[in-house]
Amino acid sequence: MRPERAALALFVAGLAALPLPSRAADEGSLRLADGTGRERVQAACSMCHSLDYILMNSPFQDRAAWQKTVDKMVKVYGAPLSPAETAQVVDYLAERYGP
């Protein structure tokens, strides 16, 4: 093995040995904005993904975009929300995390 490759392999192995922070610990400290529907959003959305996705997408999502996103989560990914619950989630996201 060439010396450059050996050095790279050792560097990568060293990185792999480093402890990484737990995502679960970070998730517990994330708190969504207060408002009607927050508990429903936390319960429904965190079943499948981190609540960070809400914060990351909020600069780009108006009401129509949130509606489309939540509809996709229900229809494509099977999020267990009734039409009334879906409306509550969209209202919360649009009011608290829209532009």
pLDDT for 99: 85
Q: How many CB atoms lie within 10 A of CB 38?
A: 15
pLDDT for 9: 56
pLDDT for 30: 80
92's enclosing H/E stretch is helix 83-97
Indicate the residue type of 25: A
- 76: tokens are 């494509």
pLDDT for 41: 94
pLDDT for 13: 54
Task: Average pLDDT across each block of 10 residues of the chain; the chain has 99 residues. List them in order.
Answer: 61 50 50 92 92 91 96 94 96 93
pTM: 0.69
Nearest in space to 40 (alpha carbons), one of 91, 99, 95:
91
Q: How many Å is the Cα radius of gyration of the chain?
A: 19
